Chains A and B, each alone.
Chain A
Amino acid sequence: MASIAAPTSEQTIAAARSERRPGGLWLLLPGPLGWMVFFYLVPLVILLVHAFWSVDYLTIQRTFTLENFRTLLTNDLYLRVLGRTAAMAAVVTLADLCLAFPLAYFLAKRVTKHRELLLLLVIFPLWSSYLIRVFAWKTILGTNGILNSFLLTVGVIDQPATAFLYSKTAMFLTFSQVWLPFMILPLFTVLDRLPNSFIEAASDLGANPWRTFRSVILPLSLPGILAGSLSVFSLTLGDYITPTLLGGPGDQMIGRLVADNFGMSNNWPLGATLVVPILVLVSLFIAVANRFGALGRTAA
C-alpha cells in the first residue's frame, strides 16, 4: 500500500532515507556520474551549441546566429514534418496504451500460473534487433508479402496491393508493435502493485466494473500510463529507421530530417536545430509525468 501512497508522504520518506545513507556510498558515484557527463551531457551541449552556428559551403561558421530557428519556424516543410511526427507519436502512444492496458491487467491480476514466462514473452521481442523487427513488417506488408498472399488466397483481392507498404499505416503498425513492450512493462508494474482489495472495495461500495476502472484502477495506474507513454512517445518521435524503410515519399518524419542534415547534406547546425523541438516536446512530457509521480516509482 505504501508504494502508491500520496506522493508527498512518499517523497518525505525517500528524503529521510537518503539522509541516513552512509557517506561511503558517495564513492560509488564518480564513475557513473563521469560517464553521464562525458558521454551524454557534453555531447548534448555540443549539439545544442551547433544549433546557434551556421554552415557555409560545408564549413561550420562558429558565430552566434538565430538563422536556423528562423528557418525552422518559417519553412513550411519543417513545421509540417514536425506536426506529422508529433501526431504519429501521439497516435502510436494511444494505440499502444489501448493494446497494453488489457494485456497488462490480465497479466497482473488474472494470471496466477506461468506469470514470469508470459512476462518474458512480452519482453522477448526486445532481445531481437529492432531492425529485424522492422524488416519483418516489410515482409508482411510487401507486394509479395504475407498479407497480400493471404488476401489473394482468400480471394479478397485479385491483384497484390502495393498500398500496404510505404504508407503511414505501415509506419503506424510497425511503431505500435515494436514499442508495445515499453508500454506493457510499466503498466504491469503499477497494476501488479495495485492491491486487489482496492478493486474489491470499489465493487463492495457499489461501483460496477466500468466505474471501478474509471475511479480507482485508472487513477492509480497513472504513473505507469505516463511512464509507458513517455517511452513510446519519445521513441517514436526520434525514430528515423521505420520512416526510412516503411514510409512513403510524403511520410517524412523529423528524425529522418535530422539524420539527413547530419549525414548527406552535412548541415550539422540545421540538424541540431531540428532536434530542439523534439527535446522540448519530450521535456514537456517528462515534466508532466514527473508532476504525477510517474518517474522513480515505475523504473521499467
Chain B
Amino acid sequence: MKRRDFLKASTAGLAGSLVGGVGLLSWTPRAHASTIEKTFYITDGMVTQGDGKDIYFRGYSSNSSGLNVPGEHLIVQQGDQVEITIHNTLGSSHSFVIDGISDETVNSGRISGGSSTTVSFTADNVGTYVYYDNRNAPYNRIAGLHGGIAVMPVNSDDELYPGSPTFVQQQFWIFNQTDPDWNDAVRNGDTPDSNFTPRYFTLNGLSGRPPGAPGSGDPAIDSMHDPRSALHGHVGDRTLVRMINVGLAQHAVHTHGNHMEWLTSDGDIRPVWEKDIVPLNGNNGIADIIFPFDTPPDSWPPADVGTYPMHLHDEMTQTAGGGLYMFGSLTDIFFE
C-alpha cells in the first residue's frame, strides 16, 4: 500500500491478532485535491473477548496476514479522488460500500472470494461516513467488515464542515455489538436464525479492562488505553469525535467531565446543543461531537487535571459475556 502524508491512520501489524491501534490520525490541509489510494485485505480470525472467549470476526485489514476490526480510519479532503483497492482473501463474497460521501454511488458490487477490485470516487461531501459490506446485511458488517472515513473541508484543519465550531484534534469512536451465534453463522456461511442477543460490546474493536484485569493498560487490548479511543488533552484541546454505530442497538453516549457539543446526527447539521448524553442510532448511525476539554465546570475548587470515563449509558453494554462490568464499551478521558 502506498502511504501518503495525508492518509495516516493506525499502524497495522501484529500478525494474526487484532490490532489495537497505535497510530494517531493526523491531517494536513491542502489547497488542491489529490488522489488518495488505500488497499484493504478482507481477512478473518478470532478475537479474544473480555471473558476469555474467542469469537470469529472478519475485517477490512491493512495487510493480508492481520485482522483489523474496524478497518483503519481514513481522512481525506473534499474533492479528493479516492481509490480503494480491496483484495478478498476469503472464500466468501463481500463488498465495499460508502453511503453519502460522493455524488456518485460508491459500491464495489460483489467481490468474489479470492478476487480483487478497486472502487474509485470523488469525495464530494464533507463529514463522517462508514465504509462497510452491505452483502448479507447486516451480518457481514456486524461481524467486522466496517470502518470510518472522514472528508475534511478544503483547506481546513479545524472544522467539521465550513463554519462549524472548531477543534484542535479529531478521532473516531466506532461502536459495535457482538452476538457470538451470529458471528458463528457468518463463519459457517449460514444466515443467523436467532434474535440478535449481543454479549460483547466494543469501541473501535476493543473493550474495557479495569485496573487489575489481565490486559489492563495494554493499548492493543484495553479500550480505556487505546489511543484511537481514549481522549487526551489539556484545557482547550477541543476534540472532534466522529461516532459511528455499526451494530443494531441504539446507544446513549455519555461523557463525564464535560458536556459534549452535539454537531450532527445521521449526516444532518444540528443546532449545537451541549449534552452529557448523545443518542447514537444503530445500523450505521452517526453523530459528530466536540469534547471541549473545558475545566470541569462543577469542580470545587476548580481543577483541570484528572481522569473521567466515557461510557454508554445503556449499561448492558458495559458487560462481557453477561457479567464483568467495565469489560464493555467504554474509554477514559484524560485531562492532562
Q: Do A and B bind each other?
A: no
